[in-house]
A and B are shown apart, each in its own frame.
Chain A
Amino acid sequence: MTTAAAPGKERKLVDMHWDPITRIIGNLGIYTKIDFENREVAECQSTSSMFRGYSVFMKGKDPRDAHFITSRICGICGDNHATCSIYAQQMAYGIKPPPLAEWIINLGEAAEYMFDHTLFQDNLVMVDWCEQMVKETNPAVLAKAETTAAPHSDIHGFKTIADIMRAFNPFTGSMYKEALHISRVTREMFCLMEGRHVHPSTLYPGGVGTVATPQVFTDYLVRLMHVLDFVKKVIPLNDDLFDFWVDAVPGYEEVGNRRILLGCWGSFQDPNYCDYDYKTMDAWGKKMFVTPGIIVDGKIVTNNLVDINVGMRILLGSSFYDGWENEQNFVNADPLGNPIHKSHPWNQTTLPHPQKRDFNGNYSWVMSPRWYDKRSDDHLALDTGGGPLARLWSTALSGLVDLPNIKATGSSVKINLPKSVQLPEMEFEWKIPTRSNTIERDRARIYFIAYSAAAAIYFLEQAMKEVRAGRTKVFNDFKVPEEAIGCGFHEAVRGVLSHHMVIKNGKIANYHPYPPTPWNASPRDSFGTPGPYEDAVNGMKIFEENNQDNFKGIDIMRTVRSFDPCLPCGVHMYLGNGKTIKTVHSPIFAGSAK
């Protein structure tokens, strides 16, 4: 963090920036102007100094390699990319995997959500809310926490709120250590289904390579029963902590608050309906076990994946790229005849233009994905709420998910967790909140671990039905077409994920992955609309008790981290100055590929 006095007109503003932000992957910088007299952030800009170029070097590759390559976009949710790429490939090849393969992928992805959310929430986010941090930033709040009883101490065993905060102290706190253990167990569950974490070795278009035996599912279930005990404790524990902050610090619900503009692309396919045909994408998209949807001001605008796809726009405005207006158009209309815009990922050409960072001009390698709302002619800067907030919100509002242990009611999601190793059957209800703020993003994350666990139980039952019937087929044959297009919609752990592919002459002609962080960390677009991080921090009240000299910016950090930021996916090769790359190539079947 560095500071410098900035000349203000009426308000005395102080430049403060955190670059890079720690505890996240990638080069995210947050640049703010803070009005300490009024305890408010006057202005915020989000920047990334890293360029990678997946959309550039995917061209000309074999389409069947797409999921192996794009998995490397991320070191924490690479499997989400692999899965999404497989969805896009299956659409392009015109195939669907056998049901058992789909249940196996769902089980793997459910384990990924459980793993990643646990690790991020309890080992990374909670550092901002732990005793040690609160002692340094809000000692008065800690004093109050010492004398405030935890309402659910009978379940989690911590008597006071301060005890909960102590349990999250890094490396020493009991919950911190237990969460590390759980993230290991859930990763084992993942590996049982997808072979390897985080770049799956057994996922392919057309199915999986996992050998489906009763043993593999039993191994998964045994681990899941232990995870359920953890989940049953950690939800009331998080509720106690976040409810305390709202009560103890009046106005804290305004931290990170922004207009409700949420996007969810849906997760967990239902093999009984999903055939990966674009023409029926609306119908099978609504059968996903996490319902896709775009939510504006608390109301659902659409839960039709075709509408979601057609409305996607990639804008520039403050990014280090040239426009592609004069480049080739790959897709003029989708298979249903809907016109596809020039700034849609199917038609995008990435033209990087490195330049000096200028906060009055171009200042980030992240582009600005927006969703075009034809009702208002607006390009909406959707955020993902860190992933779970949008997923739960969209699922709850649509009211389509009705499983034995998960029910979407229209205003909430009820999650029933069966008896586990230590604790009895318990039901949790996530209710749609009134705000899209820091606390609700963090709270939703912990509820989505329960959602994934409950969904995994259902997927296990369905998978075992297949195995008990002897239907062990897990892959289908396919041919790679000469010309085709495909798109995949999925949820990365931290939110919306789409992969758009165009195949020409049997090779990739265009490929654009759009993960959650470009949506969340986007800079100001060509219309001047700030990205969600910027928007959530702009005008935010400061509740930290420290003065300007020892200011940590904890409220800003909590807000940015509540989005679960992850920059490697935000910018689609960074080489240090003067670094020489040696190319080593092992030709296979001679170098005759043209």
Chain B
Amino acid sequence: MKKGPITVGTPDVDVELPSHVSGVLQGNDVGHYGKMKGHLADGTSTAARSTGIGADKHGPIDPRMPNLSPA
């Protein structure tokens, strides 16, 4: 790396150390959305995104209502 006229010491850490390690799974990777419970392909969601306990009992009481899970 070009440092200009500034005198600097020898780095004890590689400047690229905090970058991604090749081969490690990325949370943002394509396809992960579909693997998450409660997040549906059409952009809607169910209570399963918020809870794993009795999620199917937390749906809307009227089918015309949007499925809005607890936060």
Q: Is the CB of A473 within 8 A of B44?
A: yes
A594 at the interface (CB under 8 A from B): yes
A476 to B68, CA, bound (A): 19
A472 at the interface (CB under 8 A from B): yes
- Give the most central of B15, B19, B33: most A CB within 10 Å: B19
Binds B, one of A15-23, A54-62, A268-276, A286-294: A54-62
Q: Is the CB of B43 within 8 A of A585?
A: no
A506 to B6, CA, bound (A): 28
Q: Is the CB of B29 within 8 A of A479?
A: yes
Q: Is the CB of A583 within 8 A of B66?
A: no
A317 to B32, CA, bound (A): 50
Binds B, one of A212-220, A247-255, A339-347, A521-529: A212-220
A478 at the interface (CB under 8 A from B): yes
Q: Is the CB of A216 within 8 A of B71?
A: yes
A585 to B20, CA, bound (A): 15
Q: Mark B16-30, 1 if CB is under 8 A from A, else 0.
A: 111111101010111
A143 at the interface (CB under 8 A from B): no
Known: A352-B4, A470-B68, A472-B45. A59 touches B15 (CB 8 A): yes
User: A279: shortest Cβ distance to chain B, in Å?
Assistant: 22
- The A contact surface, by secondary structure, is loop
Closest to A321 in B: B4
Q: Mark A197-227, 1 if CB is under 8 A from B, else 0.
A: 0000000111000010111100000000000
- CB contacts under 8 Å to B, within A47-103, are 57, 59-62, 64-65, 98
Q: Is the CB of B30 within 8 A of A352?
A: no
Q: Mark A458-502, 1 if CB is under 8 A from B, else 0.
A: 000000000111111101111110000000000000000000000
A213 to B50, CA, bound (A): 12
Q: Is the CB of A583 within 8 A of B21?
A: no
Q: How large is the interface on A (under 10, 10 to 19, 20 to 34, 35 or more residues)?
A: 35 or more
A592 at the interface (CB under 8 A from B): yes
Closest to A584 in B: B13
Q: Is the CB of A587 within 8 A of B66?
A: no
Q: Is the CB of A470 within 8 A of B2?
A: no
B52 at the interface (CB under 8 A from A): no
Q: Is the CB of A352 within 8 A of B6?
A: yes
A4 at the interface (CB under 8 A from B): no
Q: Is the CB of A476 within 8 A of B44?
A: no
A479 to B32, CA, bound (A): 11
Q: Is the CB of B68 within 8 A of A593?
A: no
Chain B residues with CB under 8 Å of A354's CB are 5-6
A445 at the interface (CB under 8 A from B): no
- CB contacts under 8 Å to A, within B31-56, are 31-33, 39, 43-45
Closest to A214 in B: B68
Q: Is the CB of A585 within 8 A of B45?
A: no
Chain B residues with CB under 8 Å of A61's CB are 16, 18-19
Selected from A351, A479, A589, the residue in CB contact (under 8 A) with B2 is A351
Known: A473-B43, A478-B28. A467 touches B5 (CB 8 A): no
Selected from A471, A473, A590, A593, the residue in CB contact (under 8 A) with B19 is A593
Q: Is the CB of B6 within 8 A of A507?
A: no
A17 to B55, CA, bound (A): 67
Q: Is the CB of B44 within 8 A of A470?
A: yes
Known: A472-B68, A473-B43. A585 touches B13 (CB 8 A): yes
Closest to A326 in B: B2
Chain A residues with CB under 8 Å of B24's CB are 589
Q: Is the CB of B16 within 8 A of A507?
A: yes
A337 at the interface (CB under 8 A from B): no
Q: Is the CB of B18 within 8 A of A479?
A: no
A591 to B15, CA, bound (A): 11
Q: Is the CB of B29 within 8 A of A594?
A: no
Chain A residues with CB under 8 Å of B26's CB are 479-480
Could you list 17 examples of A-B contacts with CB < 8 Å? A59-B15, A64-B20, A65-B18, A351-B2, A352-B4, A470-B44, A472-B45, A476-B33, A477-B28, A477-B29, A477-B30, A478-B30, A479-B29, A480-B28, A507-B16, A585-B13, A593-B18
A contacts, CB < 8 Å to B: 57, 59-62, 64-65, 98, 204-206, 211, 213-216, 322, 327, 349, 351-354, 467-473, 475-480, 506-507, 583, 585, 587-594
B contacts, CB < 8 Å to A: 1-2, 4-6, 12-22, 24, 26, 28-33, 39, 43-45, 66-71
